[in-house]
Amino acid sequence: MTLKKSSTLLLLLLYVLLVVIPIITVGQWLLIESTLVNKFVSKIGLFNTIINPDGVVDIATHTLTLTTRLIGLVGSMIGVLPFFLGLLILTKIFKRYRKNQVFTLKNSYSYKLLGYVFVFDSLIAKPLSGLLLVLCATLSNPPGHRYILITYSFPNIEALFSGFIIILIAKVMLIGHQLQEEQNSVI
């Protein structure tokens, strides 16, 4: 498969994800009170169980007030934001790939930005999202059993490491661009 064809197919997938992910993220919190949505969410596991000091909470079966749903929505949106930003950056990269523009200055900057999104995800988005989801799960508990919990775990380290690798790839892309510019000026 050529670069143009594979880039076009990936762009189509990215566009679908850019539409579907926000709809699912917002919809699950706004419609969780609906029996049909609640069963659907429970069966396919859209909500992960939330672990807090009192144990495991399954949000799909937890009673939620408007406030806790809004906190959960904000937490989920923060958690999805880096993925969404990554999709936007990848659409720009694959549009250039489709035009056979591989080692360009813009691609190098896009990869660098993508790496920073991964770093942002690991250091800010994942912990903040987790904090808000734990708060959502425990806010209806009696006083003394409500929690705000910030955690850093292996997924944070994976995202941080991936971010640094992608930033390094951006530097390689920049060197590739410089070599291509040299080659174009010699010929």
| Helical pair 3-30 and 35-44, crossing angle rounded to 10 deg | 130
Q: What is the reported pLDDT for 187? A: 61
Q: What is the reported pLDDT for 110? A: 97
**DSSP conformation class of 48:** P
Dist CA 161 CA 151 (whole Å): 17
Q: What is the reported pLDDT for 158? A: 94
Q: Strand pairing partners for 65? A: none
Cβ atoms within 10 Å, residue 117:
22
- Cα of 63 vs its chain's centroid, Å: 27
Q: What is the reported pLDDT for 43? A: 65
Q: What is the reported pLDDT for 30? A: 84
Dist CA 187 CA 44 (whole Å): 57
Along the chain (187 residues), what's the average pLDDT of each consecutive run of 10 residues?
Answer: 93 97 88 71 62 70 85 94 97 96 94 98 94 87 79 87 97 92 82
Q: What is the reported pLDDT for 185? A: 86
**Taking the domains of the chain in order of start, what are their residue ranges?**
3-43+61-186
